Amino acid sequence: MKKTPALSILTPVWNGLPYLKECVDSVLKQNFQNWELIISDNGSTDGTLAYLDGLQDPRIKIFKQKTNLGIMGNVNFLFDQANSPITQILCADDYLITTDSLTDIVNYWDKASPTLGFARFGHIGSSDRKIINLQTQIIPKIIKAGQADLYFFIFWNFPGNLSDVSVRTHLIAEEGYFNTRYPFAGDCDMWSRLGRKYDIGVEPDSQIFVRRHAGVASNYQGLKGELYTQQVEIHQAMLNELSKTKDYDKLVTYFHLNTYSFHYRNALKSALHGRFDYIKTMLKVKSPFLWPKWKQLLFCLPYALFNTHQQLTYSLATDLLCVQTKENFVIQLQTAI
């Protein structure tokens, strides 16, 4: 009888050279060996297919898409091929950090509560943005089911890159798969949906190196403001949940002064270079919670220009999160004196 792998590793790839080989080699070098690696090529033209044809390990399964499915469509396809109850995503640019990375991931899941839906390993480091740094101070190691929406609303996609996440395989299909309408935000949408029903694990130690390079998708995708459109829809779903227990107006204000202003700044930069698609996209987006366009452009302009390090919206974030940071405590103490 064929042995069921303890872990499915899913690798979506499109023009993955020269990094794909390092990605695959990092799996082959693992001390833990009861895995399957499923690779789905999304129409590569750079020699990736020739490299894949040379892989001989029977635990590696290769699929070649005739038409490009998009990143979320490709990930959905991969989940349908997975045979293990636990799946680790490993994008083609990335690699396992040590030879015991899979051992640590499998051991984590062996000890996990059955209420745990997915887990994030590492990724978030220090930043010059104050709200990003706040994550490491306040996000617990286990976020209980139904309590993650506020973290997503404040920090956006805190689970990080797709490669940072391992998940109970069956939950992806049960939740209706990654939304292919959200090519830039489908991961945050999926994780936030799962977080309403299942616990989320947040581990500080990275098991996978997430590579940043000139050709990484985030450097050329969403240059016309597409991410903003998707964020508005996903934030609307979060608002529907959060407004049951949180001040709706404060949430909407935070979105505009922090998230909208971030995109506003990017749109202004694009306009200075003669590219106006980004700002046009933002002006077209409509949603019940969005401020009128004149208010967006007028009230958010100072934040777009001067909130680069999130210092202007930091207190809004801590207020919504109901956290007492050391910095705020010192300010309050000085005020009292």
238-282 pLDDT, tens digit per residue, is 999 999 999 999 999 999 999 999 999 999 999 999 999 999 999
- What are the helix (H) ranges across 148-225? 149-155, 169-174, 186-195
314-325 pLDDT, tens digit per residue, is 999 999 999 744
Give the DSSP H/E element, type plus range, for residue 11.
Answer: strand 7-13
Mean pLDDT of the chain: 92
- Of 103-117, 131-145, 244-258, give the lowest mean pLDDT range: 131-145
The stretch 298-314 carries a mean pLDDT of 97
The pTM score is 0.92
Q: Is the pLDDT of residue 118 over 80?
A: yes
Do β-strands 165-168 and 116-121 pair in parallel, antiparallel, or remain unpaired?
A: antiparallel
Domains, in order of start, for the chain: 7-123+159-218 (3.90.550.10), 222-336 (no CATH)
Residues 278 and 271: beta-carbon distance below 8 Å: yes
Query: What percentage of the chain carries pLDDT values higher than 90?
Result: 86
* Distant-in-sequence contacts of 133-136, Cβ < 8 A, 24+ apart: 134/314, 134/317, 134/318, 134/321, 134/323, 134/325, 136/204
**Rounded CA separation 314/51 (Å):** 47
DSSP type of residue 260: I
The stretch 46-73 carries a mean pLDDT of 96
Burial code of 188-211, b = ≥16 C-beta within 10 A, e = fewer?
bbbbbbbbbebbbbbbeebbbbbb
Structure-model confidence comparison of residues 300 and 332, the more confident one: 300
Residues 61 and 81: beta-carbon distance below 8 Å: yes
Confidence of residue 329 (pLDDT cuts 50, 70, 90): very low
Q: Is the pLDDT of residue 154 over 60?
A: yes
